[in-house]
Amino acid sequence: MRHPSQPPEVPGAGDDIQDLIPVASSASGSVAWSSSKGGEGGGGGGGGDSGGSFTALLGLPTSQAMELLLPAAAPTFPADPQLVDRAARFSAFASPSPSSPSPNLPPPPGSSAAAAAKRKVDPADRASKGKSSKKGKTAAASGEDKDGGGDGEDDKPAYVHVRARRGQATDSHSLAERARREKINARMELLKDLVPGCSKVSGTALVLDEIINHVQSLQRQVEYLSMRLAAVNPRVDFGGLDNFLTTEVTWPDMGVNGARHLVQLQQHFWHGDLAHPLQPPSQWEKRADPHAPVFSNSSSSLFGYDLASSGAQPQTGKLKMEL
Amino acid sequence: MHAPRRFKRDFMERLLLSLQVAGLTSKSMGLRERRDAVRVSSDVAMASARGRGAPWARALVARHAAKRRNEALLRRIMGGGGYERAAAAAAGRKEVRSRKIVTRSHRLCSSRRKRRSLAMAAASGAMVARTMVKGRLRLLRRLVPGADALHGFSLLSETLDYVVCLKTQAAAARLQTCMRCVRGVNEKL
C-alpha cells in the first residue's frame, strides 16, 4: 500500500551489502508483506506501538525504516557476515544444536534493531529462527493480548509469539493462522533469494513455477554432468583421492582462458558467490564439449599405443590450442 | 553463501571416495552403466554429507536402494549397515504410497465438490490462484524426493534444503569434470 517501489531500492544500496540483501530485503519485504497482508496494520497506525522496539519501525513509513536498517547494518558489516552465515545456515539447514545459536545470536549485531528483535520460535521450527530474528517481531504476550509492549528477552517456550497488529482480530485462530502464513511467507522469501530471477516475480504461483523450473534444470544438469564424468574417465578407476581436490595442472600448458575458468569454477564452488552466476563455466563446458568425446576416444585408443606416436599429436595439439 | 563449508567439504570428500569405490566395483564398460554408477555415488555422497536430519536424503538413498542393480555398489559405499537402513527405508515407502492413495482420493472428492461449486458460481480470482498454487505444489512434491506427504511449510523447507544441496552437487560435479578433463589433457601432453 505504501511503497511499491520498495524492492528496487534495496539493490541500489550497493554491492558491499549484497550479502545482507537477503537480510535487508527480508526485513523490508516482511514489512511490505505484512502491511499488504495485514491491511492497514502498522503503516497507517503509526504511533500505536510504543518503545524503541522493532515494531516501532513497523510503525514508520518503510523508507525511514529502510534508512534505519541499512546504515545500521553497514557499520556492523564486519560482524554481520557471521550472523548472515549463521542465519543462512539455520534457514537452510536444521542446526544440530538448537540451543547454542540463540544465545549467540543477540550479541553480535550491535544495532538496536537487531538486538531488540527476538521472536520465540517453536523448537521444531528453528530453521526459521535466523530469518525471523532479522525480521524482528518483538514477542508480545500470547493470544488475546494486543499491545504487550514488552520485548521478548526470554528463553524458549514451545509456542510462537506474534504481535497483533491494529485493526485485526485477536482470537487465537486468526493469530495462529497469521503466524503460519508468515512462516510460509518467510520460506517463500528464502526460496526467492535462492532461485535466480525470482525477485521480480510476485505472487506465489509464478514463484513456484520458477522454483520448479530451477529444480528441474538442476536435476538435468546433475545427470548431464554425471554422464560427462563417466565419459571423462574411461577406464581409470576414477582416480586417486587427493589428486582431484586441488589443481595440480601447470598453467602454461593450458592457456589463459582455461586457467581462468578453472580457477573461477573452484572459487565459485568453495566460496559460493552469488554475485557471479555461472555463465563462464557453461561456456567452458560448451567449448569443452566437443573435446570430451574426442579425448576419450583418443585416450581409449592410445592406451595400447605409444604416447609419442604421430597419431596422437594432432588431436592433443588441437586440444591444447582450443583450451 | 548458502551451503555451509562443512557440507561442501564433506560432500566433496565423500564424492571422491564413492567415485573411487564405484570405479573399483563396476568393471562394466558401458557408458550408461558408468553414468548410473556415478549418479548413484554422487547422490549417496550428497545424502550422507547432509546427514540423517533431512527426509529427502533418506528418500533419495532409498530410491537408489530399491533397484537391485545398485546393491553391490551401495553396499561398498555405505557399508552393510547403511545399506540395510536404506533397504528398510525403501520397503517402508510402500506404506507411504498407500497414504498417498488416500490423500489423492480426498483430493479427487474435493475437486469434484469444487467443480460442482464452480459450475454454480463463477470462479473467483482467489480460487483460481489457489488451484494454480496447489497444482504447482503437487509438481514440487513429485520433484523433491521424499516430500510426498509434506504440506505447506515443511514442503517449502524441504525444497529449500534440497535446492541448496542440488546446487552444490551440480557445482561439484562440474568442478570434477573440468579438472579431470584438464588433468587428462595435461597427462597426455
- CB distance B61 to B43 below 8 Å: yes
The DSSP secondary-structure symbol of B151 reads: -
**Taking CB atoms and an 8 Å limit, are B35 and A284 in contact across chains?**
no
Residues with Cβ within 8 Å of A248's Cβ and at least 6 positions away in sequence, in order, are B183
Collect all residues of chain A within an 8 Å Cβ-Cβ radius of residue B183. Answer: 243-244, 248-249
Stretch B39-61: mean pLDDT:
87
Query: Given this model, what pLDDT does residue B99 score?
Result: 63
C-alpha cell at B83: 545399506
Give the closest-approach CA distance of B93 to chain A in angstroms. Answer: 22
> Who has greater pLDDT, B149 or A142?
B149
**Taking CB atoms and an 8 Å limit, are A92 and B152 in contact across chains?**
no
E runs forming strands in A135-258: none
Give the CB-side neighbour count of residue A282, counting CA atoms within 13 A.
Answer: 7
- Phi and psi at A307, nearest 5°, equal -70, -25
Residue B110 has pLDDT above 80, yes or no: no
Give the closest-approach CA distance of B132 to chain A in angstroms. Answer: 6
Count the Cβ atoms, other than its own, within 10 Å of residue B106: 10
- Contact status of A263 with chain B (Cβ, < 8 Å): no
Query: Given this model, what pLDDT does residue A225 score?
Result: 93
Query: Given this model, what pLDDT does residue A223 score?
Result: 93
Query: Given this model, what pLDDT does residue A127 score?
Result: 42
**Taking CB atoms and an 8 Å limit, are A191 and B180 in contact across chains?**
no
Nearest CA in chain A to B1: A272
Collect all residues of chain B within an 8 Å Cβ-Cβ radius of residue A316. Answer: 185, 188-189
Q: For residues B149 and B107, what is the distance between their CA atoms, to the nearest angstrom?
A: 13
- Contact status of A286 with chain B (Cβ, < 8 Å): no
C-alpha cell at A101: 545459536
| Alpha helix stretches (DSSP H) within chain B | 5-25, 31-50, 55-65, 71-120, 125-143, 152-188
Q: For residues B80 and A27, what is the distance between their CA atoms, to the nearest angstrom?
A: 48
Local confidence band at B170 (pLDDT 50, 70, 90 cut-offs): very high
**Could you give the angle at which helices B125-143 and A204-232 cross, rounded to 10 degrees?**
20
- CB distance A96 to A115 below 8 Å: no
Query: Given this model, what pLDDT does residue B129 score?
Result: 87
Give the closest-approach CA distance of B98 to chain A in angstroms. Answer: 25
Query: Given this model, what pLDDT does residue B182 score?
Result: 77
Q: For residues B93 and A288, what is the distance between their CA atoms, to the nearest angstrom?
A: 41
Which chain A residues in 113-142 lie under 8 Å from chain B, judged by CB atoms?
A: 125, 127
Residues with Cβ within 8 Å of A109's Cβ and at least 6 positions away in sequence, in order, are A76, A79, A80, A83, A115
**Taking CB atoms and an 8 Å limit, are A316 and B188 in contact across chains?**
yes
Of B16, B152, B160, the CB nearest to A244: B16
> Who has greater pLDDT, A65 or B176?
B176
Give the closest-approach CA distance of A136 to chain B in angstroms. Answer: 20
Rg, Å, chain A Cα set = 26
The residue of B12, B21, B157 whose CB has the most chain A CBs within 10 angstroms, and thus the best one to mutate to test that interface, is B157
- For residue A97, give the amino acid letter: S
Q: What is the pLDDT along chain A (323 residues), one digit of tens a residue?
A: 444 444 444 444 344 444 444 444 444 444 444 444 444 433 333 334 444 444 444 444 445 545 544 444 444 444 455 555 554 555 545 444 444 444 444 444 444 443 333 444 344 444 444 444 444 343 333 344 444 444 444 455 566 666 666 777 778 889 999 999 999 999 888 888 888 888 888 888 889 999 999 999 999 999 999 998 888 876 555 555 445 555 555 555 556 666 777 777 887 777 765 454 544 444 444 444 433 333 333 333 333 333 333 433 444 444 344 43
Of A85, A223, A249, the CB nearest to B186: A249
Residue B126: is it exposed, middle or buried by C-beta count within 10 angstroms (0-12/13-18/19+)? exposed
Query: Given this model, what pLDDT does residue B60 score?
Result: 87
**Complex ipTM tops 0.90:** no
The widest CA-to-CA distance across chain B, in whole angstroms, is 76
**Taking CB atoms and an 8 Å limit, are A218 and B132 in contact across chains?**
no
The DSSP secondary-structure symbol of A139 reads: P
Stretch B133-159: mean pLDDT:
88
**Taking CB atoms and an 8 Å limit, are A238 and B19 in contact across chains?**
yes
**Taking CB atoms and an 8 Å limit, are A253 and B20 in contact across chains?**
no
The DSSP secondary-structure symbol of B122 reads: P
- Contact status of A205 with chain B (Cβ, < 8 Å): yes
**Taking CB atoms and an 8 Å limit, are B161 and A216 in contact across chains?**
no
Query: Given this model, what pLDDT does residue B123 score?
Result: 67
Stretch B17-37: mean pLDDT:
79
- Phi and psi at A159, nearest 5°, equal -135, 175
Query: Given this model, what pLDDT does residue A239 score?
Result: 58
**pTM to 2 decimals?**
0.57
**Could you give the angle at which helices A172-194 and A204-232 cross, rounded to 10 degrees?**
40
Local confidence band at B165 (pLDDT 50, 70, 90 cut-offs): very high
Dihedral in degrees, nearest 10, Cα atoms A83, A88, A94, A98: 10
Q: For residues B58 and B85, what is the distance between their CA atoms, to the nearest angstrom?
A: 9
Give the CB-side neighbour count of residue A182, counting CA atoms within 13 A.
Answer: 32
Query: Given this model, what pLDDT does residue A85 score?
Result: 54
